[in-house]
Structure 1
Amino acid sequence: MDFAYSPKVQALQSRLTEFMQAHIYPNEARYEAEVAANRAAGNAWLPTRVVEELKQTARAAGLWNLFLPDAEHGAGLSNLEYAPLCEIMGRVIWAPEVFNCSAPDTGNMEVLVRYGSAQQQRDWLEPLLDGRIRSCFGMTEPDVASSDATNITSSIVRDGDEYVINGRKWWSSGGSDPRCKVFIFMGKTDAGNPDRHRQQSMILIPRDTPGVTVRRNLPVFGFDDAPHGHAEIDFEQVRVPVTNLLLGEGRGFEIAQGRLGPGRIHHCMRLIGLAERALEMMCRRNLHRVVFGKALAEQGVSLERIAEARILIDQARLLVLNAAYMMDTVGNKVAAKEIAMIKVAAPAMACKVIDWAIQMFGGAGMADPFLASAYAAARALRLADGPDEVHRNHIGKLELARYRTR
């Protein structure tokens, strides 16, 4: 395997890095100020002006929809080619949205590209690709252990030319955003099917459909996590046309697996960017901060943590690149173990490196908006898209299977 970046990718890396330096980093304070102003005015989930303005700049620069391997709709990059670009965007938590490369829209667009009908693509994929609307993914439920997706209890029942949907979802990414216009909802169409992986289906629900109610915006470590955030949503006697079903009845688990593979690796790519930036902050702090009469860089524990952070980041990056290579060459299903491995390794690495950065900054580390939000994001990803324990179990079973077949 060859992880050398092609001239095309190197050019995109250069353009993306220049864009971040010219437009993203200088606007971090403005972004925080706009979110704070919206929060003070009573609605922290309003879109920020700075992100909406920068979207136009990014699109004009040709840095738009880079995540989609489908050349008809996106940049036509493989997972391996997209990885270093996603890492650059991931250095600022809100930056991916500027390039129309943020969750949950990326995963939802991939679902519509792979599984959507022509009409579904016209209605929802096209405005998502244009950045005119946003979307939400509704899978996790508060009343069951949703780490096992076969546990979901929400129902999708056919009634003539319509499906009737009932259920409650939470941790629904993007559900609080006023630009959110459509949900991809997972529920059971055939709860009695003996094959537990054929009971579920996925369906498109327009946000303004009667019976859809956002109950609350979920806090993350006590904070509102706006303006992205996650919602708890009720679906009560929601009716949509049968044409809103994705792919067919009983295909929901199949769609979920197809969606979560790229989604998981994108999260890991972005986490490497967050960790790299935290390490950079650590190094600068070490060179200029004096404690007990000498620079932090002269303290043994500081050097040890910087070295260990460098090792952990590079290890995680190589694991991510290997998973991306496998996805490109043998497909997501065969690369299941590699995807699960990075989903465990990358968040754990990022949590550790960012925690060391916070410790290095002392009290200032707890007050720093980047470090605080970066740590929260990294810690949340030990649960999102499957908790560590589920992925470790999966890896262990796959490893044991090699010996059973022998």
Structure 2
Amino acid sequence: MSWDFETEPEFQAKLDWIDAFVRDEIEPLELLGEFHPADKSSSATTTLIRGLQDQVKAQGLWACHLGPELGGQGYGQVKLALMNEIVGRSQWAPYVFGSQAPDSGNAEILAHFGTDEQKATYLQPLLDGEISSCYSMTEPQVSGSDPTLQKTTAILDGAEWVVNGEKWFQTNAQYADFFIVMAVTEPDVEDPYRRMSLVIVPAETPGVEFVRHLEVAGEGSARTSHSYLKFTDVRVPAANLLGERGGAFAIAQTRLGGGRIHHAMRAIGRARQAFDMLCERAVSRDVRQGRLSGMQMTQEKIADSWIEIEQFRLLVLRTAWLIDRHQDYKMVRKDISAVKVAMPAVLHNVAQRAMHLHGALGVSDELPLASMAHIAEVMGIVDGPTEVHKILLARELLKNYTPVEGPWPTAHIPTRREAAREKYAELLEHQVASQ
């Protein structure tokens, strides 16, 4: 039996290096608001990030989620969890470590389902950090939580796919060199989950239009990372089909399972940042009766926050361990959904408490707390909303239960008492007779 909460010394040394590197070299980049780490066309961004990426590569920590054949370390999810809860403290850090979304998930599906030509054209430059990508799925007209309702189409016209439709809230679209577009290619197939395919669309293709860029609260116009896109008679070669026709949904699950757990790993880092700010404020701020840290309601906020973070962290690590053990996201669906449900609640709760304790400063843009609270809400929407994951989790759990026969539940005490008396009747009769 193996049951251990310790990290082996060799990997702990790497975690210690990551912690210091993120704190001293990467977190200061957050203050340079006029740059975005996904903008590979910016010489300033390239200058800022390349040297740091070289240091990460020298430590053997580049793109650790990928196997050695793709230039990574092939780390399991437990190691990735321990890394990402540090990397998650900074928006820039995933780019420095080669693990940023959506590029990490796009690289994964290109590696698994891409042709040799697609890998050479898109995957390798993506792995090298030379280009950015966008996973183009959500649409403005339909519920994002049900991809079977999507309207975007890709029709095969001779040797070309013709793509028409609109896509909404597209992460890093304005910086992307290519889009992986989910579109309906098999409208007449009975199974709605087999009607869609993935098509690679280079960003410069005629007919690709940016309707507008969307500024998420707390982001700032210079750091906008989402866009509203329109595809009008966009033509790409038939060879740009990624995977098989009708296989979009199955392929998407390949990237979303890992994406959800990695979001959760990084959320731990943000929650800890908020917790540190909460505690620092408590021991620093004087009120009439003394320090805030001496007030019972402040102590309650601190205790609740620490407990929630630690509970969530253990759930994430256990889920990561299960993924490593089974090597199959389908077998860990309920656990990943549980993590996805808990993530926004924990981050929001801790950020809100810290924000409240800082008063007006907490809700201003001079602290990152309001942005953290907003990010928590975003995390409750992306990759499937909280409600959908609660439903999935409950359904998976209920599979382990069967209806009772008769009117009484199995815990019904009178029924159990009668059964117990029948079971021990002979013993009880002997006991009575001997008295």
In the superposition, the TM-score normalised over structure 2's length comes to 0.86
Alpha-carbon distance between aligned partners in 1 of 2:92 and 2:309, rounded to the nearest angstrom: 21
Indicate whether 1:13 and 2:15 are aligned: yes
On the 8 A contact 1:69/1:79 being kept in 2, the answer is no
Q: How far does residue 223 in structure 1 lie from its aligned partner after superposition?
A: 5.4
Cα distance change on mapping 1:162 and 1:8 into 2, 3 Å: farther
Which position in structure 1 is the counterpart of 2:187? 191
Which position in structure 1 is the counterpart of 2:164? 166
Q: Which moved more, 1:55-64 or 1:324-333?
A: 55-64
On the 8 A contact 2:343/2:379 being kept in 1, the answer is no
Rg larger in structure: 2
On the 8 A contact 2:94/2:100 being kept in 1, the answer is yes
- Any residues of structure 2 matched to 1:140-179 within 5 Å, and which? 140-177=138-175
Q: Is there any run of 5+ residues in structure 1 with no aligned partner, and where?
A: 37-42
Instruction: Tell me which of 324, 331, 336 is aligned to 2:320.
Output: 324
| TM-superposition CA deviations, 1:293-335 (whole Å, max 9, x none) | 4111001111111111111001111111111112222210110
Which position in structure 1 is the counterpart of 2:77? 79
- Any residues of structure 2 matched to 1:280-359 within 5 Å, and which? 280-330=276-326, 331-359=328-356
Q: Is there any run of 5+ residues in structure 2 with no aligned partner, and where?
A: 405-435
On the 8 A contact 1:47/1:227 being kept in 2, the answer is no
Q: Give SS of 1:335's match.
A: helix
Which position in structure 1 is the counterpart of 2:421? none
Indicate whether 1:124 and 2:122 are aligned: yes
| TM-superposition CA deviations, 1:232-275 (whole Å, max 9, x none) | 11111111111111111011000111110000111111111000
- Any residues of structure 2 matched to 1:161-240 within 5 Å, and which? 161-177=159-175, 180-221=176-217, 224=220, 226-227=222-223, 229-240=225-236
Which position in structure 1 is the counterpart of 2:62? 64
- Any residues of structure 2 matched to 1:361-400 within 5 Å, and which? 361-367=358-364, 368-400=366-398
Cα distance change on mapping 1:297 and 1:332 into 2, 3 Å: same
Q: Which amino acid aligns with 1:374?
A: M
Alpha-carbon distance between aligned partners in 2 of 1:159 and 1:27, rounded to the nearest angstrom: 47
Q: How far does residue 222 in structure 1 lie from its aligned partner after superposition?
A: 7.6
Alpha-carbon distance between aligned partners in 1 of 2:50 and 2:403, rounded to the nearest angstrom: 54
What number of residue pairs does the alignment pair up? Answer: 396
Q: Which amino acid aligns with 2:357?
A: M
Quote the sequence identity (%). Answer: 38
On the 8 A contact 1:285/1:361 being kept in 2, the answer is yes
Alpha-carbon distance between aligned partners in 1 of 2:392 and 2:170, rounded to the nearest angstrom: 24
Q: How far does residue 150 in structure 1 lie from its aligned partner after superposition?
A: 1.0
Alpha-carbon distance between aligned partners in 2 of 1:12 and 1:228, rounded to the nearest angstrom: 32
On the 8 A contact 2:155/2:163 being kept in 1, the answer is yes
Alpha-carbon distance between aligned partners in 2 of 1:239 and 1:185, rounded to the nearest angstrom: 12
On the 8 A contact 1:282/1:306 being kept in 2, the answer is yes
Alpha-carbon distance between aligned partners in 2 of 1:391 and 1:332, rounded to the nearest angstrom: 15
Alpha-carbon distance between aligned partners in 2 of 1:3 and 1:245, rounded to the nearest angstrom: 45
Alpha-carbon distance between aligned partners in 2 of 1:69 and 1:200, rounded to the nearest angstrom: 29
Q: How far does residue 22 in structure 1 lie from its aligned partner after superposition?
A: 2.5
Which position in structure 2 is the counterpart of 1:266? 262
Alpha-carbon distance between aligned partners in 2 of 1:247 and 1:94, rounded to the nearest angstrom: 31
On the 8 A contact 2:213/2:224 being kept in 1, the answer is no
On the 8 A contact 2:341/2:389 being kept in 1, the answer is yes
Indicate whether 1:254 and 2:250 are aligned: yes
Which position in structure 2 is the counterpart of 1:40? none
Instruction: Tell me which of 53, 56, 62 is aligned to 1:55.
Output: 53
| TM-superposition CA deviations, 1:30-70 (whole Å, max 9, x none) | x23x349xxxxxx99x9475345533443344332123255
Cα distance change on mapping 1:69 and 1:345 into 2, 3 Å: farther
Alpha-carbon distance between aligned partners in 1 of 2:218 and 2:372, rounded to the nearest angstrom: 15
Q: Give SS of 1:215's match.
A: strand
Cα distance change on mapping 1:125 and 1:8 into 2, 3 Å: farther
Q: Give SS of 1:403's match.
A: coil
**Structure 1 runs, 4 residues or longer, greater than 6 Å off:** none
Alpha-carbon distance between aligned partners in 1 of 2:164 and 2:402, rounded to the nearest angstrom: 42
Cα distance change on mapping 1:277 and 1:69 into 2, 3 Å: farther
Which position in structure 2 is the counterpart of 1:39? none
- Any residues of structure 2 matched to 1:83-122 within 5 Å, and which? 83-122=81-120
In the superposition, the TM-score normalised over structure 1's length comes to 0.92
Q: Give SS of 1:87's match.
A: helix
On the 8 A contact 2:64/2:75 being kept in 1, the answer is yes
Q: Which amino acid aligns with 1:95?
A: A
Q: Give SS of 2:368's match.
A: helix
Q: Give SS of 2:199's match.
A: strand
- Note the aligned Cα RMSD (angstroms): 2.3
Q: Which moved more, 1:2-11 or 1:264-273?
A: 2-11
